[in-house]
Every structure is written in structure tokens, then in C-alpha cells.
């Protein structure tokens, strides 16, 4: 492979970099003026809007809605602020992009589309137009002509992302990169790609269902693990202002094996339904399946129920699901999962107005969770009358006449409280 001549190297030392070291105390701190896209859920995930000069990586499975959301955001931004937005479509022709745009609504005259994969041509367009936002769909298609490797290879991805990041930082133009994902669900290409950008967003949800979850797994300018919920319709992605109500809309009250848990996604509390089905195993080895929650966590909690509570589930199949297609990672769902499994095992439904939140230890103890007040407030707002929580959380909670707080030290106590008539 030929080496790039020094005059062609992308990282030239410019005036902005030729500065002497400065004492940190002398640096003026100011809040960046963020660019509002007009889609509130998208802006909230980013921390209030797009920071000038930032680079955002959006990943997700094919057909999940990445291009749809970014085309909507680009169109709304250019129309509301009367500013130029450049949308680079490397995978679709201009006619294909136009067909999608017509389905989403009126198109702004300031939204410029180009079908290009050559990095040099893309950068030339950005420098000529100086748009307020650039969307590149997708980074795996972009190639640098002086590299012999094919588009999508490690060297092409690293070099292309590096040049675009350098351009964003030196010009102040924010750039959004769309990334494909592998079978394992991670963004394809070198891991360094996620380290180079400022923000990494992942689309979650089943593409055959209506609801999508956009999650921030990295954000230098806002909270991580913040989520936004969208509904896929014929007119594009619509914001869901009240995710808790959506996730609980089809809940069947009074059935065994169901428990509502107030989880925390970033700064937002959301109520989700934990479902469990415990049935006798038809074969020698019982099955264990988990959807939306870590399988190893489920196995651990089943062992706690068997050892500490006496629920002999060794000859039973256990299936656990988080309704609505959302993925839950925090251990605060432990207590609700234990109650749901015990409810299905004993065929006793939990009280309809109950929610449960708490981490469960191997000794069967219920541990405290963070931001208990916000979780309880969300449960109260949606009409729940009782919250089962760890005893350690009780000292930080004030008495509330609208919702009863049941503090439990062990899983056994929590099961007695939840499954009693």
C-alpha cells in the first residue's frame, strides 16, 4: 500500500491547534448553544440538542428506523430554523430517498440530498455548503480513494471516521454517522469507532412491532442510558410522550406471573411489566428463557428463590419476558422478577395496584436502589396504590397518603406482602 504524501495527510496543523498550553483556571467555561432538531425525544436523549462540532453515531438493525428518524430530524431542522442541512445517502439513490421523504410529509427546500460514497467528494460538499448539520448514511459505505481496502473494512472505517471527526471539530459542523450492526448487536467495524465519536445511540425493539427505543450508551454532552420511545407509523416515527402508559397498555390485570417495576432509564423513570411463566418441564432438563433481561440474572434469582424461599423450581420450565420489547439492565428489577416467578409458580396473582423495586442479593436480602423517590412518584402518577421496596430505602422516603410504602428486608417478606390476599 502506498503511503500518503505529507502534503496529502489529513491532520494538518492549523491555526486552531497552534496554541500554547493554557492554565485550566484561565479557560472560560460556557455552555454550548445546542441545535434543536424539533423532535423533543431525540433532543432530550442528546442532552438538549446537538452540540456544534459534535459527532454522533447511530446504530441499529436494518429496517429499525435509523434513516427514517434522521431524515425526519434533518427535514424539521432545516424547515424550522431555515438553515441548510446536508443528507449524504450512500446506500440509496436520490429517487429512493425522495420516496421516503414524501411519505414523511412536506420537504424543506433547505434540505439538500446527495448520493455519494467518496469521502473526498463528501468533504468537498461540506466545505462548500457549510451546513448546520450533516447526516452520513452510512459510514460503512464511505471510502477513501487512496486506500486499497474495500469500503466497510477496518482501515476504511477508521480513516473515514477520523477525517470526518477532524472536520467537525475544526469547522464546528455537527455530523451524524449511521452505522450497521453485527449479528451480536454491536456496531460493525473497529471498536475505536465508538471511542472517536462524542455520542453513541442505539435503536432497540423488534422491527415487526410498532415501538422503537433509542438509547444513548455514550454521551459526552448529556446523560448516558437516556432513552427515547417512538412509534413507527405510516407517516414515520412519532414521539411517545408517556412511555409507561404505552408499556402497560395491554397488561392483563389479575393474571399470575405479572409484576410492574419502575425502572430508571437515564434520568427518566418508566414503568414496565415483568412477565414470568413457570410450568412443569416435559423433558429431563428444564428450559430457561429470558427476553429483554439478562439470562444469567434470571438464573441467579431462580437459585435464590429455590434456596432462600423454598420454591422448588428445579423441575419447571421458566420463561421471563419484559413486555413491550424494551431491554432492562439494572438490578432494580430483581424483586419484581422474583415476585412474578413466585406468582406463576404458586398460581397466585399479585395485587393489581402493586409495583415492586429492589435489588436481590444471594442471601435473599432486598437491597436499596437509587432514585427511589422518582420511581415511586411515577408509580403514583399512573395510579398505583402500593410500592414494595427494600427496607434500606425507607429512611430516605417521606410518608405519602396517596401511595403505601411496604418496606421488606428479605425476598420472603416481599413475597408474603405481594401474594397475600
Percent of the chain with pLDDT over 90: 63
Sorted by sequence, the CB contacts under 8 Å of residue 17 that are 6+ apart come out as: none
φ/ψ of residue 255, rounded to 5: -90, 140
Nearest in space to 332 (alpha carbons), one of 400, 395, 418, 392:
392
Write out the three cell numbers for 380. Answer: 403514583
**pLDDT in the model for residue 31:** 67
According to DSSP, residue 137 is labeled E
Taking the CA atoms of the chain, what radius of gyration do you get in angstroms? 25
**pLDDT in the model for residue 5:** 46
**pLDDT in the model for residue 13:** 40
Calpha distance 145→148 (Å, rounded): 7
Task: Say if residue 10's pLDDT is above 90.
Answer: no
Task: Say if residue 92's pLDDT is above 80.
Answer: yes
- Whether the CB-CB separation of 143 and 118 falls below 8 Å is answered with yes
Calpha distance 168→163 (Å, rounded): 9
Mean pLDDT on 245-265: 90
Alpha-carbon separation of residue 235 from 72, 100, 174, 238, 417 (angstroms) = 10, 10, 26, 8, 46
Three-state secondary structure call for residue 352: coil
Task: Say if residue 190's pLDDT is above 80.
Answer: no
Task: Say if residue 26's pLDDT is above 80.
Answer: yes
Nearest in space to 302 (alpha carbons), one of 276, 330, 263, 332:
276
**Domain edges within the chain:** 32-241, 246-419
Strand duo 268-280 + 211-219: pairing = unpaired
Which of 109-118, 163-172, 238-247 bottoms out in mean pLDDT, i.e. has the lowest? 238-247
Nearest in space to 215 (alpha carbons), one of 327, 103, 354, 356:
327
**pLDDT in the model for residue 103:** 87
pLDDT in tens, 337-377: 999 999 999 999 999 899 999 999 999 999 999 999 999 99
> Model confidence at 252, in pLDDT bands (50, 70, 90)?
confident
CATH 3.40.50.11740 fits 32-241, yes or no: no
Nearest in space to 323 (alpha carbons), one of 236, 259, 377:
259
Describe the chain by its helix, strand, coil percentages, rounded to 5: 30, 25, 45
Three-state secondary structure call for residue 8: helix
Task: Say if residue 300's pLDDT is above 70.
Answer: yes
Angle at 291 between CA 287 and CA 292, to 5 degrees: 150
- Whether the CB-CB separation of 376 and 311 falls below 8 Å is answered with no
Calpha distance 147→304 (Å, rounded): 56
Instruction: Report domain 246-419's class.
Output: alpha beta
Burial class (CB in 10 A: 0-12, 13-18, 19+), 190: middle
- Whether the CB-CB separation of 221 and 299 falls below 8 Å is answered with no
Calpha distance 226→201 (Å, rounded): 10
Higher pLDDT, 19 or 304: 304
> Model confidence at 185, in pLDDT bands (50, 70, 90)?
low
**pLDDT in the model for residue 20:** 85
φ/ψ of residue 352, rounded to 5: -60, -30
> Model confidence at 46, in pLDDT bands (50, 70, 90)?
very high
Mean pLDDT score of the chain:
89
Most confident of 204-208, 309-313, 385-389: 385-389
**pLDDT in the model for residue 270:** 93
Calpha distance 46→56 (Å, rounded): 9
> Model confidence at 1, in pLDDT bands (50, 70, 90)?
very low
Strand duo 111-114 + 85-89: pairing = parallel
> Model confidence at 208, in pLDDT bands (50, 70, 90)?
low
Calpha distance 408→17 (Å, rounded): 58
Calpha distance 235→231 (Å, rounded): 10
According to DSSP, residue 305 is labeled I
Task: Say if residue 206's pLDDT is above 50.
Answer: yes
> Model confidence at 143, in pLDDT bands (50, 70, 90)?
very high
- Whether the CB-CB separation of 156 and 149 falls below 8 Å is answered with yes
Amino acid at each position: 500500500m502506498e503511503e500518503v504524501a505529507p502534503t496529502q495527510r489529513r491532520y494538518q496543523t492549523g491555526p486552531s491547534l497552534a496554541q500554547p498550553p493554557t492554565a485550566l483556571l484561565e479557560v472560560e467555561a460556557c455552555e454550548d448553544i445546542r441545535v434543536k432538531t424539533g423532535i423533543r425525544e431525540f433532543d432530550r436523549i442528546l442532552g438538549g440538542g446537538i452540540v456544534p462540532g459534535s459527532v454522533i453515531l447511530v446504530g441499529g438493525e436494518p429496517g429499525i428506523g435509523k434513516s427514517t428518524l434522521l431524515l425526519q430530524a434533518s427535514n424539521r431542522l432545516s424547515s424550522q430554523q431555515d438553515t441548510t442541512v446536508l443528507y449524504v445517502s450512500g446506500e440509496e439513490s436520490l429517487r429512493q430517498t425522495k420516496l421516503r421523504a414524501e411519505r414523511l410529509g412536506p420537504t424543506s427546500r433547505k434540505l439538500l440530498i446527495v448520493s455519494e460514497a467518496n469521502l473526498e467528494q463528501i468533504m468537498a460538499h461540506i466545505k462548500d455548503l457549510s451546513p448546520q448539520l450533516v447526516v452520513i448514511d452510512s459510514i460503512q459505505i464511505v471510502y477513501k480513494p487512496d486506500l486499497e481496502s474495500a469500503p466497510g473494512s477496518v482501515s476504511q472505517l477508521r480513516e473515514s471516521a477520523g477525517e470526518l471527526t477532524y472536520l467537525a471539530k475544526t469547522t464546528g459542523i455537527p455530523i451524524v454517522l449511521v452505522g450497521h450492526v453485527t449479528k451480536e448487536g454491536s456496531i460493525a467495524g473497529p471498536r475505536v469507532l465508538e471511542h472517536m465519536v462524542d455520542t453513541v445511540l442505539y435503536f432497540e425493539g423488534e422491527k415487526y412491532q410498532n415501538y422503537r427505543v433509542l438509547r444513548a450508551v455514550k454521551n459526552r454532552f448529556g446523560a448516558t442510558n437516556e432513552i427515547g420511545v417512538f412509534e413507527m407509523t405510516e407517516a414515520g416515527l412519532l414521539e411517545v410522550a408517556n412511555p409507561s402508559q404505552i408499556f402497560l397498555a395491554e397488561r392483563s390485570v389479575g393474571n399470575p406471573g405479572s409484576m410492574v417495576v419502575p425502572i430508571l432509564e437515564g434520568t427518566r423513570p418508566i414503568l414496565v411489566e415483568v412477565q414470568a411463566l413457570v410450568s412443569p418441564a416435559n423433558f429431563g432438563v428444564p428450559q430457561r428463557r429470558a427476553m429483554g433481561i439478562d439470562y444469567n440474572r434470571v438464573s441467579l434469582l431462580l437459585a435464590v428463590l429455590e434456596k432462600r424461599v423454598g420454591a422448588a423450581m428445579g423441575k419447571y420450565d421458566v420463561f421471563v419476558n419484559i413486555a413491550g420489547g424494551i431491554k432492562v439492565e439494572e438490578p432494580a428489577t430483581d424483586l419484581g422478577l422474583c415476585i412474578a416467578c413466585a406468582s406463576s409458580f404458586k398460581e397466585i396473582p399479585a395485587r393489581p395496584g402493586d409495583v415492586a423495586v429492589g435489588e436481590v442479593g444471594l442471601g435473599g436480602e432486598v437491597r436499596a436502589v437509587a432514585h427511589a423517590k422518582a420511581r415511586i412518584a411515577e408509580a403514583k402518577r399512573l395510579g398505583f396504590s402500593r410500592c414494595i421496596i427494600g427496607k434500606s430505602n425507607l429512611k430516605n422516603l417521606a410518608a405519602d397518603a396517596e401511595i403505601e410504602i411496604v418496606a421488606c428486608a428479605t425476598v420472603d417478606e416481599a413475597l408474603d406482602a405481594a401474594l397475600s390476599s
